[in-house]
Amino acid sequence: MSIVSANPTPADERALLASLPTGLLIDGVWRPASDGGTFDVIDPSTGDALLTIASATPADGAAALDAAVGAQRPWARTAPRERAEILRRAFDAVTARSDDFALLMTLEMGKPLAESRGEVAYGAEFLRWFSEETARIAGRFAMAPDGNSRLLVMKRPVGPSLFITPWNFPLAMATRKIAPAIAAGCTMVLKPAALTPLTALLFAQVLSEAGLPDGVLNVIQTTRAGAVTGPLIADSRLRKLSFTGSTEVGRRLIADAAQQVLRVSMELGGNAPLLVFDDADLDKAVDGAMLAKLRNGGEACTAANRILVQRGVAGEFSRRLTERMAAHTIARGTDPASKIGPLVDESTRQKVHELVTSAVAEGATLALGGRVVQGAGYFYEPTVLTDVPAGARILSQEIFGPVAPIVTFDTEEEAVRLANDTEFGLVAYAFTRDLNRGLRLAEELEVGMFGLNTGIVSNPAAPFGGVKQSGTGREGGIEGIEEYLETRYVGIADPYRE
């Protein structure tokens, strides 16, 4: 059961924070950093410290990898059913403590409680999905075409894995990696984002209570990400690196991982286009754009970053979107009226504001917002920019804030060209009543995921991931577990030939 109520009070907040582990989880033991180092986790709606927790050193990182390596062989030998049931118990526990997880995410990341609850449901679902996939890991057996031997293909866990996760979805980005790794029989070291590590600490505690053996999951939050994870990536005992974060950091990690020819999964940045055609159901298109733009306050890799609207409906669509965005209440995420919380920190807010300012200087029209909210916390007004010229800087970078740049186009061909004019390729959305056009777009857009007449595609039962510089690998779906499995082939002599 949750410690806090569905409408949490300041006393609930204090009780929840006081209940959390504050150490590093290494080999089943919560311990302080080897040098006693700590850091503060900040509430982005006030700028105040929420809790002080241990900050791992490189020696702690090494101890975490030792623990993962030590636990790997016995863990790989556990019955699939046993791993499945740990995941299923963890799903039940996270669901039962939904209010605790939701409040914690709201406190450290800022999103409104309703959105945090949505993330708890989404994040927990990976635990249930992969508990169900655990018993279905299978290989194949065949007679060689010439009949002279038998071919056995088996799946083995990749081995000790390092997970590095971002701050924007503190639970889901962890469960998307941890659940399939548990299902496959891999051990892990998790380095959560320094801005939002508390959710990972609570989740690790829940997993231990669900029966995860010591050493299978080790958690090393730190303020020295590169110094702590670099030596692990260089260690030949590590077999896999799964990273979710910016393309810039991902690129560097791929280069580091190349030294050990390490298997990598990279869930990197996005620059999603959202296309609205003249024949679209405009109500659906506006609803979809609101979801794709403002979910998570715009701080999502899947956020609609470039809203491309066909000329015939551009005026009406922009007017309706502006109206809807203007009605969003900006408030601390714990306030029941809050529709939009703070951005995660001051540097994120400055970057968003700078992109808006430069778009206006480049010729865009400011239809709504465009201002930093004065006072405590890192709030930014929902913003709409219309007539954004192709080539504006805001169209080539991830905005990561509540800003909707609208670009007008004339033909489908032009829309596809504009949509693909980016180094990213995570997701695209389109709104049209023409099914043939929808199918053409599904084939022509250079993305890993495509939402047709919907502003959200994330689903634990579907493969999430990008192409181009949005990364490599897939999380979720039946594909998600493959990231943690190796294929081993065993050649067997013809059993009829003595």
Alpha-helical runs (H) found in 266-411 = 282-294, 311-326, 346-361
- The Cα-based distances of 94 to 2, 209, 279 in angstroms read 9, 11, 43
CB of 216 to ligand NAP, least distance (A): 21
CB of 146 to ligand NAP, least distance (A): 45
Based on the shown chain and the rule CB under 6 A, indicate whether residue 229 belongs to the binding site for ligand NAP. Answer: yes
Cβ–Cβ < 8 Å for 290, 324: yes
Cβ–Cβ < 8 Å for 472, 265: yes
Q: Which of residues 374-413 bind ligand NAP (CB under 6 A)?
A: 398
| Separation of alpha carbons 305 and 17, rounded Å | 35
Radius of gyration of the chain (CA): 23
Q: Which of residues 443-472 bind ligand NAP (CB under 6 A)?
A: 466, 471
CB of 153 to ligand NAP, least distance (A): 30
Helix crossing, 412-420 with 435-444: angle to 10°? 30
Q: Of the two residues 46 and 397, which places its CB atom closer to ligand NAP in the complex?
A: 397
| Separation of alpha carbons 306 and 392, rounded Å | 11
Q: Of the two residues 3 and 194, which places its CB atom closer to ligand NAP in the complex?
A: 194
Based on the shown chain and the rule CB under 6 A, indicate whether residue 246 belongs to the binding site for ligand NAP. Answer: yes
CB of 221 to ligand NAP, least distance (A): 9
Binding mask 162-181 for ligand NAP (x = CB under 6 A): --xxxxxx---x--------
Q: Of the two residues 195 and 280, which places its CB atom closer to ligand NAP in the complex?
A: 195
Based on the shown chain and the rule CB under 6 A, indicate whether residue 225 belongs to the binding site for ligand NAP. Answer: yes
Q: Of the two residues 288 and 466, which places its CB atom closer to ligand NAP in the complex?
A: 466
- Three-state SS at 258: helix
Among 121, 151, 249, 462, binds ligand NAP (CB under 6 A): 249
Binding mask 340-379 for ligand NAP (x = CB under 6 A): ----------------------------------------
Q: Which two tokens stand for residue 485?
A: 């499995």
Q: Of the two residues 245 and 377, which places its CB atom closer to ligand NAP in the complex?
A: 245
Active site residue 486: no
| Separation of alpha carbons 447 and 469, rounded Å | 10
Among 123, 159, 160, 270, binds ligand NAP (CB under 6 A): 270
Active site residue 267: yes
Catalytic residue (choose from 267, 381, 412, 475): 267
| Separation of alpha carbons 98 and 117, rounded Å | 7
Residue 380: DSSP 8-state: B
Q: Which of residues 185-224 bind ligand NAP (CB under 6 A)?
A: 191, 193-195
CB of 415 to ligand NAP, least distance (A): 23
| Separation of alpha carbons 225 and 221, rounded Å | 8
Strand ranges across the sheet with 383-386: 365-368, 383-386, 403-409, 304-310, 272-276, 427-431, 449-452
- What are the residue numbers of the active site? 267, 301
